[in-house]
Amino acid sequence: MNRSPAPSRLRSGPATGGRSLAFIAGISSLGGLLFGYDTGIISGALPAIAGAFDLADTGKQLITSAIIVGAILGAYSSGHLSERLGRRPAIIVAAAVFAVGAVLAAVAPEVWTLGIARLVLGFAVGLAAQAVPLYVAELAPPARRGGLVVMFQLAITVGILAAYLAGYALDESWRWMFGLGLVPAVVLLLGMLSLPESPRWLFTHQDPGAARTVLARIRPDQAAVDAELGDLAETSAASDHRGLRALRGRWMRPALIAGIGLAIASQITGINAIIYYAPTILGDAGFGRSAAMLTTVGVGIVNFLMVAIGVRLVDAIGRRRLLLVLLPGAVLSLIAVAAVLMLEPAPQGAARWVVIAGILGYIACNGGSLSVVVWLAGPEMYPLKVRSVAVAVSTFAVWFFDLLVSLTTLSLTSALGTTGTFWLFAGVNALAFLFVFRFVPETRGRSLEDIESALRAGTFTAMR
């Protein structure tokens, strides 16, 4: 273990005093709000951008997907940055990049500059998506970890909803839509300057004293601090391997299968296809622009409400059970939409309401399960010494498959039709349910060190 001299303790960050864990999670989760806003704003801005720059479907998909390419680059870099600099500095870097990207997008004189701005914003999104859940998970106690980490996903839904409302209110003013992202970026940057570093990063990169100082401010008593430090010392001594090399161990495979599998499922089950292209898909199904945009706002509201409920349920009933209860509802909702569109390609009257209810039901069940768990799973399941790089791999998987979805959704809809696309997503959601049933264990109420011990003992998948 690398032990620095006593003065290095100052690098743990300013004192938090009476600040609660909820406050720490709330400030850092502004990275999630920016994530949601900058990915969701394209839904309302895209029609105006297409008109301003005369874009066809290919151009629209490239502008939409530029943020995801940037997110892949951010995810690729995030493991190194959060491991070398620390979790907190990585979030500060992300906030600064968010601010630069928002300004650049707002003043873009032509489409290539806008594409570069979206790429910059994506880098910040990819970095925040890895660093924020990792940071909060390493600060939170087992009993509250799920809800505190899921605040990141809740903030994403707030950002998406804010993007939809901005798109509806500002209509054709797409530059203002992008520029508004500067405000939360500045708040995140300033807020993170007052928060502490992760005690687990401090334990492995500086010394136990620095970790103890932070834990003493966020744990209820000295006994809890001593117990946590004892667990940290035991798991930290179990392996000296770091980085991608350590991920090749056979004992790591169950966690990688579960974590990366959930990352992939969170994208290919279709939720971001709806978030990115809802107005376009609904327009193809015969909805007018106003009705399509209002339905899209409804998507954002339902997504937010279900994740807000998930913040409570993820610790109350568990991660695995939440997935197994809600994913069948997502399948049935998509089947209802596909069946109506198959019978009535341009639905009217009651059929139109069934389509709207089905889309909102799907968002409720998928957003309240996979979207809640995906950013929590990696930071919980992966061992301490490889956690940052393993979470980066999962985050990379999220964005790689998100890129595939965003690049192919409009083309897929053209090839299969709107009806066929919904049938396809229904089948994929059913496969996601089977995957969770077979490979994803229950981690509710277990410390990060207990989960790592189960992984090393070969009992990881037996946790129920």
Give the tens place of pLDDT for each residue, 100-146: 999 999 999 988 899 999 999 999 999 999 999 999 999 988 888 88
The confidence band for 5, taking pLDDT boundaries of 50, 70 and 90, is: very low
Give the mean model confidence (pLDDT) for residues 49-64.
80
- pLDDT above 60: residue 4: no
Q: What is the pLDDT of residue 352?
A: 79
The DSSP result for 48-107, as a single string, is HHHHHHT--HHHHHHHHHHHHHHHHHHHHHHHHHHHHT-HHHHHHHHHHHHHHHHHHHHT
**Between residues 96 and 75, which one has the greater pLDDT?**
96
Rg (CA), the chain: 22
Contact present, 417 and 326 (Cβ < 8 Å): no
Give the mean model confidence (pLDDT) for residues 72-89.
91
- pLDDT above 90: residue 80: no
Of 213-222, 249-258, 328-337, 341-350, highest mean pLDDT: 328-337
Give the mean model confidence (pLDDT) for residues 419-438.
94
Residue from 253, 185, 199, 248 nearest 439 by CA: 253
Percent helix, strand and coil across the chain, each rounded to 5?
Answer: 85, 0, 15
Q: What is the pLDDT of residue 2?
A: 41
CB neighbours of residue 203 within 10 Å:
25
Superfamily holding 18-195+238-462:
MFS general substrate transporter like domains (1.20.1250.20)
Residue from 270, 235, 295, 159 nearest 457 by CA: 235
Give the mean model confidence (pLDDT) for residues 351-377.
89
**Token couple for 412:** 């897929």
Three-state DSSP at 221 gives coil
**Between residues 205 and 256, which one has the greater pLDDT?**
256
Residue from 113, 95, 94 nearest 104 by CA: 113
Rounded Cα gap, residues 174 and 348, in angstroms: 31
Q: Which helix (H) or strand (E) holds 348?
A: none
- pLDDT above 90: residue 19: no
Q: Side-chain half-sphere of 168: how many Cα atoms within 13 Å?
A: 17
Contacts of 150 by beta carbon, 8 Å cutoff, 6+ apart: 307, 310, 311, 314, 372, 375, 376
Q: What is the pLDDT of residue 243?
A: 59
The one-letter amino acid code at 240 reads D
- pLDDT above 90: residue 90: yes
- pLDDT above 60: residue 13: no
**Between residues 299 and 400, which one has the greater pLDDT?**
400
CB neighbours of residue 353 within 10 Å:
12
Give the tens place of pLDDT for each residue, 213-249: 888 888 877 888 888 888 788 776 665 555 566 677 7
Q: What is the pLDDT of residue 14?
A: 45
Q: What is the pLDDT of residue 290?
A: 67
| Cα 101 versus chain centre, distance | 19
Q: What is the pLDDT of residue 6?
A: 35
**Token couple for 354:** 């069934």
Rounded Cα gap, residues 205 and 223, in angstroms: 23
Give the mean model confidence (pLDDT) for residues 335-360.
84
Q: Where are the domains of the chain?
A: 18-195+238-462
Look up tokens 């951008």; give the residue: 49
Rounded Cα gap, residues 126 and 120, in angstroms: 10
Look up tokens 């570069």; give the residue: 116
Poorest-pLDDT segment among 113-127, 260-274, 324-338: 260-274
Residues 67-83: b if buried by 16+ CB within 10 A, e if exposed: bbbbbbbbbbbbbebbb
Q: What is the pLDDT of residue 221?
A: 78
Rounded Cα gap, residues 110 and 143, in angstroms: 50
- Of all residues in the chain, the percent with pLDDT exceeding 70 is 89
The confidence band for 44, taking pLDDT boundaries of 50, 70 and 90, is: confident
- pLDDT above 60: residue 8: no
Q: What is the pLDDT of residue 15?
A: 41
Mean pLDDT of the chain: 85
Q: What is the pLDDT of residue 354?
A: 87
Q: What is the pLDDT of residue 186?
A: 96
Q: Side-chain half-sphere of 246: how many Cα atoms within 13 Å?
A: 18
Of 26-35, 208-217, 345-354, 455-464, highest mean pLDDT: 26-35
Three-state DSSP at 249 gives coil
Rounded Cα gap, residues 269 and 151, in angstroms: 22
Sign of the C-alpha dihedral, residues 65, 70, 76, 78?
negative
Q: What is the pLDDT of residue 304?
A: 86
CB neighbours of residue 19 within 10 Å:
15
Q: What is the pLDDT of residue 275?
A: 66
The confidence band for 268, taking pLDDT boundaries of 50, 70 and 90, is: very high
Contacts of 131 by beta carbon, 8 Å cutoff, 6+ apart: 31, 78, 81, 82, 87, 90, 91, 94
Q: What is the pLDDT of residue 18?
A: 37
The DSSP result for 101-133, as a single string, is HHHHHHT--SHHHHHHHHHHHHHHHHHHHHHHH
Poorest-pLDDT segment among 58-72, 127-141, 324-338, 362-376: 58-72
